[in-house]
Amino acid sequence: MIAVGKSAPDFTLPDQAGKSHTLSKYRGRWTLLYFYPKDDTPGCTKEACMLRDTFPQFENMHADVLGISKDSVASHKRFAEKYSLPFPLLADESGETVTKYGVWQEKKMMGKAYMGIVRTSFLINPEGEVAKIYEKVKPEIHAEEVLNDLKEFGAE
């Protein structure tokens, strides 16, 4: 189980350009690892665009942003290009990482149950430990919420 103060589970996944990213290589910097259900859907687009619009503030705080969903590299490429996203979108097509992080859960829509990614983020400190877990993320305020927490953690 992932918990605040514990090491964030490592993984290696390809981004929208096919380049591999390994979480442990981001040590030494703050990292926002945000899991989202699907490329180019209303909530996911809103969240990604809010992160895009505040991305210079993340950079000023020496914080990286990594998005993860089960969509393909090609889907991520289209999504990132369509909205000019300046950060990596990682493709977890096997579902191994979303399962490891506990965000692959049963969801319900219109009375039907199905498995999917529950919108959740993890703020990882420069030592590779989980500093904060964001559950039931609200896409329209998430970027500002994380930036405020980074300030509180002294990431400026």
Cα–Cα distance for residue pair 100/12, rounded to 1 Å: 12
Pick from 150, 137, 33: nearest CA to 89: 33
pLDDT per position in the chain (156 positions), as tens? Answer: 799 999 999 999 999 999 999 999 999 999 999 999 999 999 999 999 999 999 999 999 999 999 999 999 999 999 999 999 999 999 999 999 999 999 999 998 888 999 999 999 999 999 999 999 999 899 999 999 999 999 999 887
Tokens of 21: 């990213």
Residue boundaries of the structural domains of the chain? 12-152
CATH of the domain spanning 12-152: 3.40.30.10
Active site residue 49: no
Q: Is residue 141 classed as helix, strand or coil in its secondary structure?
A: coil
This model's pTM is above 0.85: yes
Catalytic residue among 32, 33, 44, 85: 44
- Do 142 and 121 contact (CB within 8 A), yes or no? yes
